[in-house]
Structures are given as C-alpha cells and as structure tokens.
Amino acid sequence: MDGLNVSIAFFLLVVGVCQVLRWFSKRLLSPGTHGCLAREFAGSLQLCTSCLELRMLMEIGPWGGGFGLDVVLTLLFLLSAVHGASFDGASANPTVSLQEFLLLESSLAVTVAKLLAQGVGAGTGWAVTRLYWSWELSQLHFIQNLIAPECSSSIRASLPHAAFVEGSCSFLFHLVLLRVHQSHPLYRVPALAATVTFLTYTAGPFTGAFFNPALATATTFQCSGSSFWDYIQVYWLGPLAGMLAALLLFQGNIPRLFQKNLLYSQKSKYKVPKAKVTAQVEGDKPQRKRKERKSNSEPRA
C-alpha cells in the first residue's frame, strides 16, 4: 500500500499547485486572459496528471500493489469531484468548449484560445508525470518505467465499435452536463463525478473511456498498435459526434448553426387566460340581445 500512499500524496500536490496557479493568475492577469488561458491550462494540467497516475494504478495496482479496481474507482470519483469543485469554471475538455461556442456562450477567438490552452496544459501534464515517474518513488513507478516504452494502444475493439463507445460516452456525459449546468454545485459536482466513474467502469476495457480529445492525445496517441488516423476517428471524431447528438437532443437545434427547432414544437410564451375569454364571451351576450330587440322594435314599412 506504500505505492498507493505515494500516489495519493501526488494527487494532493497536483491539486494544490494548480490551485495556487489559479490564485496567482486571477490576481495578476486580466479576467479575459485568466478565463481563456490560465484557467484552462491549470485545469488540463491537473486533469492530465491525475488521469495518467490513475491509469497506472488501474493497470499495475491489482497485481503489483495489492489493491483492486474498487480502490481505483473510488479514487476516480473523489478526484472527479475535486476537479469539478476546483476548476473554477474551466472545462479542460475541447468538446465542452466547442459546445459552449455552439450555444453562443463564447466567441470563436475565446474558443480557439481555450483549445490551445487545453492542449498545452495536457502536454505539460504528460511531461510532468513522466518526470515524476522517473524518480521511482514507489515500486509501482519502477514497474511503470519498465513498461512505458512498450505501451500499447487503448483501443481494444474494432475501429467502428471503439468510435461508437467513445461517442456514446461523450453523448451521455454532455447530456448530463447540459441537464445540471444551471444546478447548484452541491448537486452538479457529484452528478458529473458519478457519470465519469460509471462511464470509465463500463467503457474503460474497450477504449479507456477518455471522451476528451486533449486528454486522449496526451495519454495514448504515442502508444503503438493503432495509426494516427485510428486515434483521430476514435478519440476526436467520436466524442465530437456524441457532443453534437447530445446538444441536438437536449436543445432541439444548434443555435450557432440554425435557430429553427428541429425536434420540438415551440409553443407561444403568451397564453390568454381562459377566464378572460369566457368573461368576454358572456359579456357579449347581453349586447347581442339588445341589438336583436332594437331590430325587432323598429317599424316595418
């Protein structure tokens, strides 16, 4: 269990360093630069380092560390909750940033800046984690260094099946995200953490369950066993298609592309109360009777 304690200390250190980075950037940088660059960079750095260490625990822990998958899934849920509470509005996920762009919540320049910051943050997280593993602070890291040069692809299914799995994970994740987006963090954070844990448990054996293009690029693109185009289809196009499907199902349209609702009929916001309508109808009856009496009482030629 010494290796697990070292990993937990590493998680706490990464979260603390990224939190300090957010604190300094918020005070030293302009709000726009902090929101587009620093916040997304810190979130991607924190997410990538945690994901790499968790994958190491998941692959080596059962036979090299003496703990099972339940421990790793518990850590995944707790870390996902910590990420959701500490990200300060950052997504650290390109598909989420593109979703905000399609919902007219951010401009093209802001979206491009976020994507660049996420890519740099994920790459930095990969480099920092590899450096941390090279210190071999535990037996698990020693084993990881031995097998790292021979890492294999996370795609363990046929290419269409793997793309469908990543797309389905992205679809479910974005559907939950859209549903709880305006909810209180007390409900939103556990709901998203539980969704990530469930998707990782069910889809992890097939593709690793990244449903995050930046995270997948830094984590598995350098491994052998699949071509670059295979990785693009599974880890980029699959999550992007899942996000678009979730947005279309939830909204009925994609506001950035077209305003017409394709799935749901739009009812008028202004409804006339039934009581007023009946009152007007009943009020018209005496007037009609008076007009009829006057017409009957007029002399006929």
1-251 belongs to CATH 1.10.10.60 = no
pLDDT in tens, 23-73: 999 898 888 787 789 999 999 999 999 999 999 999 898 877 678 889 999
What is the pLDDT, as a whole number, of residue 212? 96
Section 226-239 average pLDDT? 96
What is the pLDDT, as a whole number, of residue 113? 94
Nearest to 79 by CA among 15, 144, 9: 15
pLDDT in tens, 176-213: 999 999 899 999 999 999 999 999 999 999 999 999 99
Domain boundaries, the chain: 1-251
Write out the two tokens for 70.
């339940």
How far apart are the C-alpha atoms of 255 and 248, rounded to whole Å? Answer: 10
What is the pLDDT, as a whole number, of residue 149? 79
Backbone φ and ψ for 18, nearest 5 degrees, come out as -65, -35
pLDDT in tens, 252-295: 999 998 888 878 876 544 454 555 545 454 555 555 555 555 55
Alpha carbon 159 to its chain centroid, in Å, reads 23
pLDDT band at residue 3, thresholds of 50, 70 and 90? confident
How far apart are the C-alpha atoms of 180 and 192, rounded to whole Å? Answer: 8
Q: 246-255 burial string, b = 16+ CB within 10 Å, else e?
A: bbeeebebbe
DSSP letters for 144-167: HHHHGGG-B-S--S-HHHHHHHHH
pLDDT in tens, 83-126: 999 998 899 999 999 999 999 999 999 999 999 999 999 999 99
What is the pLDDT, as a whole number, of residue 152? 87
- Residue 10 pLDDT > 50, yes or no? yes
As a residue count, the chain comes to 301
The CA angle 237-240-246, to the nearest 5 degrees, is 140
Backbone φ and ψ for 220, nearest 5 degrees, come out as -125, -10
Amino acid letter for position 96: V
Better-predicted residue by pLDDT, 139 or 148: 139
Cβ atoms within 10 Å of 13's Cβ, excluding its own:
12
What is the pLDDT, as a whole number, of residue 66? 73
Amino acid letter for position 47: L
Backbone φ and ψ for 46, nearest 5 degrees, come out as -65, -40
Write out the two tokens for 194.
């539980």
Q: Categorise residue 289: left if φ over 0, alpha if ψ from -120 to 50, beta otherwise.
A: alpha
